[in-house]
C-alpha cells in the first residue's frame, strides 16, 4: 500500500478570509481525502453563526470540535470562538483558554505550529488574507518541518499583511489565488 503524501491541511485567515474559505469549501471535491483544519480570527463573544454560515456552501462536513475530539479525514474543523485549538500526537484536538497570541484567541500560530509538530512533512499549511502577522511563525514551523507552505497571492487579498508577514520569514512553496488553492487541493484527491 502506498503511504499518502499528506495527512492534513491547515488553513489560517483573518480579515476578508471568510468569503475565501466559503468559496474554497464550496469547490473542494466531496471525496477530499484529508482533514481540513481551519483557524480564523473571529468575534470572541459570538459563539454561533460562523460555522453555520460556512456549512451552507461546504460539500464537506464542517465541525467546531470539542476538546479531545478525534480528527477524521474528509471533515472540516473550525477553531471555536474564544479558544485556541491545538493538534495532539494522538490525532485529536485540544483546546485552551490561555492568553491571546498576537491579540487573537484562537491564534493561527498556535494551530499551525502544533500541526507542524505532529504532521511534519505530511502537512500543507495555507495562510489567507488578513490584517495582522498571526500565522507567520506557524508557517515557518511548517517549513522547518519540511511541510508544504502556500500563501494567498497578496494581490488577491482584501488585506495582505498576513501573507506578506509569511513572506518576511520564509519563501513559501506556492503563492496562489483562491482559485489556484482550490485547484491545488483538488489535485491531491486524484
If the CB atoms of residues 69 and 153 are measured against another protein, the closer one turns out to be: 69
If the CB atoms of residues 18 and 93 are measured against another protein, the closer one turns out to be: 93
Task: Say how far apart CA 149 and CA 164 lie, in whole Å.
Answer: 13
Task: Say how far apart CA 104 and CA 42 lie, in whole Å.
Answer: 9
Does 8 help bind another protein (rule: CB under 8 A)? no
Element (H, E) at 184: helix 178-188
Does 5 help bind another protein (rule: CB under 8 A)? no
If the CB atoms of residues 80 and 163 are measured against another protein, the closer one turns out to be: 80
With CB under 8 A as the contact rule, the residue among 1, 2, 3, 97 that binds another protein is 97
The yes-or-no answer on residue 41 being catalytic is yes
Q: Please, are residues 11 and 126 in contact by the beta-carbon 8 Å criterion?
A: yes
What is the pattern of x (binds another protein, CB under 8 A) and - over residues 29-58?
Answer: ----------------x-x-----------
C-alpha torsion sign, points 107, 112, 117, 118? positive
Q: In the range 103-162, which residues lie near another protein by CB under 8 A?
A: 114, 117
Which of these is catalytic: 58, 110, 113, 134?
134
Task: Say how far apart CA 47 and CA 43 lie, in whole Å.
Answer: 8
With CB under 8 A as the contact rule, the residue among 64, 109, 134, 160 that binds another protein is 64
Which of these is catalytic: 17, 41, 110, 113?
41
What cell does 92 get? 485529536
What cell does 63 get? 465541525
With CB under 8 A as the contact rule, the residue among 82, 132, 177, 186 that binds another protein is 82
**In 3-state terms, what secondary structure has residue 12?**
strand
Q: Which residues are catalytic?
A: 14, 41, 134
Amino acid at each position: 500500500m502506498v503511504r499518502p503524501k499528506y495527512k492534513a491541511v491547515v488553513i489560517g485567515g483573518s480579515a476578508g478570509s471568510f468569503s475565501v474559505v466559503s468559496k474554497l469549501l464550496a469547490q473542494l471535491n466531496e471525496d477530499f481525502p484529508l482533514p481540513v483544519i481551519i483557524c480564523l480570527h473571529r468575534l470572541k463573544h459570538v459563539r454561533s453563526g460562523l460555522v453555520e454560515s460556512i456549512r451552507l456552501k461546504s460539500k464537506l462536513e464542517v465541525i467546531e470540535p470539542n476538546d479531545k475530539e478525534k480528527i477524521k479525514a474528509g471533515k472540516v474543523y473550525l477553531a471555536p470562538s474564544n479558544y485556541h485549538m491545538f493538534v495532539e500526537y494522538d490525532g485529536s484536538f485540544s483546546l485552551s483558554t490561555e492568553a491571546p497570541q498576537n491579540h487573537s484567541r484562537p491564534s493561527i500560530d498556535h494551530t499551525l505550529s502544533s500541526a507542524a509538530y505532529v504532521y511534519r512533512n505530511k502537512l500543507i499549511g495555507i495562510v489567507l488574507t488578513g490584517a495582522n502577522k498571526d500565522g507567520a511563525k506557524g508557517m515557518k514551523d511548517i517549513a522547518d518541518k519540511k511541510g508544504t507552505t502556500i500563501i494567498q497571492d497578496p494581490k488577491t487579498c482584501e488585506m495582505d499583511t498576513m501573507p506578506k508577514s509569511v513572506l518576511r520569514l520564509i519563501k513559501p512553496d506556492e503563492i496562489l489565488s483562491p482559485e489556484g488553492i482550490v485547484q491545488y487541493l483538488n489535485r491531491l484527491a486524484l
